Amino acid sequence: MEIPSVTVNVATPPHQTYKVGVRRQTRQVVIGSIKVGGGAPISVQTMTKSKTSDVAGTVKQIIQAADAGCDIVRVTVNDKEAADAMKAIVQQSPIPIVADIHFNHIFALKSIEAGVAKVRLNPGNIGNQDRIHQVLGAARDKGIPIRIGVNSGSLEEDILDKHGYPTAEALYESAMRHVGICEDFGFRDVIISVKSTDVRLMIEAYRLVAQRTDIPLHLGVTEAGTAKIGTIKSAVGIGTLLAEGIGDTIRVSLTDEPVKEVEVGKEILRSLGLASRNIELIACPTCGRLEVDLFAIMAELEKRLEGIKKPVKIAVLGCVVNGPGEASEADIGIAAGKGVGILYRKGEVVRKIKEEEIVDVIVEEVHKFQPKE
């Protein structure tokens, strides 16, 4: 089914802009061993796609995500079986677990008792004041923060009636309604997300929250879609905000495995210099000047270098126009043409190699590469 578009006001509120690397200052919350906000490194999250009651399957996905560089993982707690499974999942997880709760305060209480590191919950949606206070009290006693997650597709009816349709102000108003419930109870250990499938709306909503509060922000484009479209939408939405200094933790939502979400999230951070880079492969877009089989070379390099975690920049260029300049700027570079390649190491020409040697030579150079301390 096609998701209907969301109209965004053309006259958007003014927003503070930032230079890349200049972060918005927020209060800090702690999720297990991970600090969020307050100048802490931006963390990457994902969500398991398995049935939570399948403990082995869920733990397997969590471990795979952690190996890919995930910092925090969210697990849905949508029924009794899922709630019962949380203790075993928490005990086996190498990274902090967030319990995803909707409407049911009992599941929230069971998750907190099971040892989760954070709860994703909108307090106003779990019933009367007594239920709200039970959950907030339990979270406070355990030192567990709460993420208030607002989506444009599930705004409260009275807010929609007031604004007419999802707007940045409507998302902000909904988020602050739930923040107010927490603060009235004396609970300030919160994170906010104001997600939308509409990238423009998502950006403006986060800007509003960033202008008006010091609360840490969890960035994401909700239901972004398949890997291709979702990666583009997430990179534009999340990347725009991060470039303005807005955002403390991120999740790329894809119709794909959790590992893929983590890989895209990490790359968004790396592209802005907000995370240490592992191997970075650069190649020319190819054109009629191409004189080597660059497609095969890059495919084999990706395969051979998968899993190697070194901050090394590799450039492989397939013609003599841009090749020497780009190759010399990388840690390891190849400027190729007419079946041969010139190997560069940190800007210096090393030697000439045959086309069929390129992959083996680069892999060897990667293993020898010593990053700066």
Q: How confident is the model at residue 277 (pLDDT cuts 50, 70, 90)?
A: low
Between CA 12 and CA 208 the distance in angstroms is: 10
Q: Provide the percentage of residues in the chain whose pLDDT is more than 70.
A: 92
221 and 86 inside one domain? yes
* Residue 343 in this model has a pLDDT that exceeds 80: yes
Q: What is the CATH number for 100?
A: 3.20.20.20
Q: DSSP letters along 88-133, please?
A: HHHHH-SS-EEEE--S-HHHHHHHHHHT-SEEE--GGGS-SHHHHH
Q: Is the pLDDT of residue 12 over 50?
A: no
The pLDDT of residue 100: 95
- For residue 8, being part of any structural domain is answered with no
285 shares a domain with 261: no
Residues 91 and 230 in one domain: yes
Assess whether 76 and 195 both reside in one domain.
yes
Give a yes or no: residue 363 inside a domain.
yes
Same-domain status, 162 and 221? yes
Return d(Cα 5, Cα 3) in angstroms, integer.
6
Q: How many domains does the chain have?
A: 2
pLDDT of residue 194: 96
Q: Are residues 55 and 82 in the same domain?
A: yes
Instruction: From 253, 271, 289, give the residue that closes a domain.
Output: 271
DSSP-assigned beta bridge partners for residue 344: 333, 349
pLDDT tier for residue 4 given thresholds of 50, 70 and 90: very low
Same structural domain for residues 182 and 101?
Answer: yes
Contact between residue 195 and residue 150 where contact means Cβ atoms under 8 Å apart: yes
Instruction: Please state, in angstroms and rounded to a whole number, the distance separating the CA atoms of residues 298 and 219.
Output: 32
